[in-house]
Amino acid sequence: MNFLSKITPRIVAKSPWLYRINAGSCNGCDVELATTACIPRYDVERLGCQYCGSPKHADIVLITGPLTARVKDKMLRLYDEIPDPKVTVAVGVCPISGGVFRESYAIEGPIDRYLPVDVNVPGCPPRPQAIIEGIAQAIAIWRARIGEAA
Amino acid sequence: MMAFLKILLDNLRKGPATEAFPFGEAPTPPAYRGKVAFDADTCTGCKMCEHVCAGGAIRFAEDDDGLHFLIWHNTCISCGLCEYYCPTKAITLTNNWHLAHPQSEKYTQIDHGTVAQCRCTECGTAFLPAIPALMDLAYRGQNDRTKALAGMCPDCRRRATLSGARS
Amino acid sequence: MTDTFSLLFAVLIFPGGLFVIALGLALKGVERRAIARLQRRIGPPLAQPVFDMIKLMQKRTLIPDTANALVFLAAPLLAVASMAVAAALIPVPGLYAPDPRLGDLIVLFYLITVPAVALMLAGSSSGSPFGAIGFSREMAIMLAYEGPILLAITAVALHAGAEMGQPIALSLSEIVAWQRAHGAFLLDPWMWPAFVTYLTFIPANLGIVPFDIPEAESEILEGPLVEYSGPPLGLMKLASAMKAVVVLGLGVALFFPAGPEGLAGLVLFALKCLGLVLAVAVLKAAVGRMRIDQAVVFYLKWPEALGLCGLALAIWHA
């Protein structure tokens, strides 16, 4: 069992499935996320990543947007549907600090007020390589987390 | 369909176009707008950058040590307005994009620069010195007199100029 | 006692169960890699499907409040079990001959449809609107492709029966044995319509673009699988990987079982599968998804006509 608990996190960390939540983003970061996934130049599938359509399949959740008041409850409900262990990555300055929308009446963010964020990838939007860098950090955190759980 | 097959064949022939990135370096254009860098030695303290900053990332604070420049990279949108409006280009955007960080470092993503105050050679009050570049601009080159004036606080400088002081 | 043991061995280890799982996951890995290359990407490691499977087995299982928990959890097991048994029905020349008590071609045909039924059960029991849409789409496309495939299999059975002097040959072992002795059906122009029908059936049954409409992940979020997580999701993915091997294996057994016996034959079989998988990769990289009505009309028009044609040829030739 000890052997297993050592070897599985390493294998499991090779299969992080990504899920995106748009918490009121302007779509800039979402375009960059789509670019990261779809364009051969970045090829995030090389890390074993795969975008999945359902929150229940996800391991790493990428959140974009400043968490608008309207989307807050829905977003938190969606977040709860992702099975543990999960890793949260805030993509773009909006979920991290509010960015240009900070202190707006329509914004409930920053997002770490409501859920535990693990990795921040600032930028407006961050370039795909920066997102991949953030995902790589998230994978490292995820591996450690599985090791703890096992 | 045939056109598509030709594209696929070409793709196979050309081989992967993927960057080495997470396992190697990623090419970055030199003009890429990334992390903001600040040079305290050339700052004149005009605070224009704070005024134009779209994300509210730049803050100035003043105390006895001098003028403190603060930028929080987590709310900087790399728009480049600060660089554009900075009269002495003390603030520049580097092409460093390695900004991803764990949550524990969220509030340490800060760059801090202090423009030190100096003492007036006449009366001893603290004031922000004008940088040499600015003095060059104002007096079209410097001589001993302008250098002496640069060491005085605004009040003393005015007095010295009006009294026609020769030193 | 040894009888039970050999049956269990056939279903659980070789050629069912473990062997099919290993081959299915390997083919999946090759397919993903091949698609990546066609798109000028590097792609995941070849063992990626194995990593995915181990990961899914570790995750938590969530059961939605709206779901019928029993059916919801039974559907993946049903899919995997049916595929393990179906694989045990396909003869491997020189290594394995299926026990006639397990069933014949008709049972195999039914078993191959079970994963689709399990997918429908999964979609309808999950209590999610996406699942329900996936369920209705799966049902529609299944009704469309079952006709042609039945015609193709019947044509082979009739043809083989006529050659062997029986009204109809329903034992896959006999069909394979006859072909190995007298030449594969693939080389017989009379069987070409049935063969092409079988080829068109593969993408719809395996949920491959342009017929992956029931599991369209970009529009209905993988449809019936939307509420699954952890081990049941893994089993569902496993069942689809196994189905690829079984369907390709049945195709090879029906039309082209030529080649050496024993292990070399097995390697040749894997290579034949690999060839088909590469063709599938090209298809996946080259075309987009059809609408459900287009797909249903397509299947009721062309493969159905081809299948009828093949059946008529087989009857006439007999």
ipTM of predicted assembly, 2 dp: 0.80
Task: Classify residue B68: in a domain, yes or no.
Answer: yes
C138 touches chain A (CB under 8 A): no
Q: Which tens digits make up the pLDDT trace of B104-144? A: 888 888 888 888 888 888 888 888 888 887 788 778 877 88
Q: Which amino acid is at B104?
A: S
Residues B122 and B57 in one domain: no
Q: Which amino acid is at B77?
A: I
pLDDT attached to residue A89: 92
Tell if the CB–CB gap between A99 and B55 is shorter than 8 Å.
Answer: yes
Q: Could you tell me if B100 and A121 are in contact, meaning their C-beta atoms sit under 8 angstroms apart?
A: yes
Residues B137 and B147 in one domain: yes
Quick check: helix, strand or coil at residue C199? helix
Residues of C in contact with B18 (CB under 8 A): 40-42
Using CB atoms, list chains with 3+ pairs below 8 Å to chain B: A, C
pLDDT attached to residue A1: 43
Q: Please report which confidence band the pLDDT of residue B11 belongs to, taking 50, 70 and 90 as the band edges.
A: confident
Tell if the CB–CB gap between A121 and B98 is shorter than 8 Å.
Answer: no
Structural domain of B39: 29-94+107-116
pLDDT attached to residue A5: 63
Quick check: helix, strand or coil at residue A141? helix
Residue of chain A whose alpha carbon sits nearest to that of B32: A127
- Min distance B41 CA to chain C CA atoms (Å): 47
Comparison of pLDDT for B5 and B164, the residue scoring more: B5
Residues B57 and B129 in one domain: no
Torsion of CA C203, C205, C209, C214, to 10 degrees: 170
Residues B33 and B90 in one domain: yes
Residues of A in contact with C44 (CB under 8 A): 45-46, 48
Tell if the CB–CB gap between A8 and C60 is shorter than 8 Å.
Answer: no
10-residue mean pLDDT series, chain C (318 residues): 69 75 86 84 84 83 81 87 84 71 79 87 83 84 85 83 75 76 73 81 78 69 79 87 86 76 77 82 78 82 81 76
Name the token pair of A121. 């990838």
Residue of chain C whose alpha carbon sits nearest to that of A9: C55
Nearest to C10, CA basis, from C79, C114, C89: C89
Residues B161 and B147 in one domain: yes
pLDDT attached to residue A3: 59
Domains of chain C: which residue ranges? 2-317
Q: Which amino acid is at C50?
A: V
Nearest to A90, CA basis, from A146, A52, A58, A137: A137
Domains and CATH numbers, chain A: 2-149 (3.40.50.12280)
Using CB atoms, list chains with 3+ pairs below 8 Å to chain C: A, B
Distance CA A10, CA A5 (A): 9
State how far the alpha carbon of C42 is from the alpha carbons of A43, B12, B20, B38, B96, in Å.
Answer: 7, 11, 10, 40, 26
Residues B85 and B55 in one domain: yes
Residues B136 and B112 in one domain: no
Q: Which tens digits make up the pLDDT trace of A17-53? A: 888 898 888 888 888 888 887 777 888 888 888 888 8
Distance CA B15, CA C41 (A): 8
Number of domains in chain B: 2
Give the end-to-end CA distance of chain C in Å, rounded to a whole number: 43
Which residues face A119 on adjacent strands? A89, B102
Q: Please report which confidence band the pLDDT of residue A88 belongs to, taking 50, 70 and 90 as the band edges.
A: very high
- Min distance B57 CA to chain A CA atoms (Å): 8
Q: Which member of B73, B79, B100 has the closest CB to residue A137?
A: B100
Tell if the CB–CB gap between C41 and A84 is shorter than 8 Å.
Answer: no
Tell if the CB–CB gap between A53 and C218 is shorter than 8 Å.
Answer: yes
If you average pLDDT over residues A89-100, what whole number do you get? 89
Residue with tokens 């176009």: B17
State how far the alpha carbon of B10 is from the alpha carbons of B16, C268, C279, in Å.
Answer: 11, 29, 16
pLDDT attached to residue C217: 67
- Min distance C48 CA to chain B CA atoms (Å): 18
Residues B57 and B128 in one domain: no
Q: Could you tell me if B143 and B152 are in contact, meaning their C-beta atoms sit under 8 angstroms apart?
A: no
Q: Could you tell me if B144 and B152 are in contact, meaning their C-beta atoms sit under 8 angstroms apart?
A: no
Q: Which member of A45, A54, A84 has the closest CB to residue C221?
A: A54
Tell if the CB–CB gap between C287 and B1 is shorter than 8 Å.
Answer: yes
Task: Classify residue B112: in a domain, yes or no.
Answer: yes
Residues B121 and B111 in one domain: no
pLDDT attached to residue A119: 92
